[in-house]
Amino acid sequence: MASFADTALTNEEIDACKEVHATLMSQMPPLVIDLRILIACTLIQKCRPAKAVSVYNKFFTKVIDLYKIDPNNLGMDGSPTSVSAIWEKQEITKFFRAYRLCGRDENSASISWIAGNGIEIHEEKQAIHASTLFYFANYGDLNR
């Protein structure tokens, strides 16, 4: 697992991530924290630690834990092996067809609608996994 020192973050971003990490550790020790997701949540929340902690906790409670999704299967390290594994381990590509790009907001961020004919209970995990990948991809451009 990477450490904060292994990242290409600014000092401000590192300080925010450290604050998020310290807060999470104080809330639920001995919590095993996924630094990749912590960093993503912190950056997506514009280095606002309180908001990042809230998003991180909700993400793990309502997505990772509830649907038993392996954080290692989110391709967050960006390696070819990790990204390829996303497509090999689950049949999730059909769920990407539900996302419809419908324009940009005032900050030029992409806006998407989710269309579909419903998801069967046995497909929920794959649909949530696809949604998680879509979320990180959508917010991956932090300069938007």
Among 12, 35, 67, the domain-final residue is: 67
Domain range for 13: 1-67
Domain co-membership, 104 together with 126: yes
Residues 52 and 19: their CA atoms lie apart, in Å, by 10
Residues 67 and 99: their CA atoms lie apart, in Å, by 21
pLDDT band at 1 (very low <50, low <70, confident <90, very high): very low
Domain co-membership, 27 together with 48: yes
Residues 97 and 110: their CA atoms lie apart, in Å, by 16
Domain co-membership, 5 together with 58: yes
> What pLDDT, on the 0 to 100 scale, is given for residue 7?
57
How many domains is the chain partitioned into structurally?
2
% of the chain residues with pLDDT over 90: 23
- Both tokens of 113, joined, read 């609608």
Q: Is residue 72 part of a domain?
A: no
pLDDT tens, residue by residue, 47-92: 999 999 999 999 988 988 888 888 877 777 777 887 777 766 667 7
pLDDT tens, residue by residue, 51-61: 999 999 999 88
Q: Is residue 130 part of a domain?
A: yes
The overall pTM is greater than 0.85: no
Among 16, 45, 67, the domain-final residue is: 67
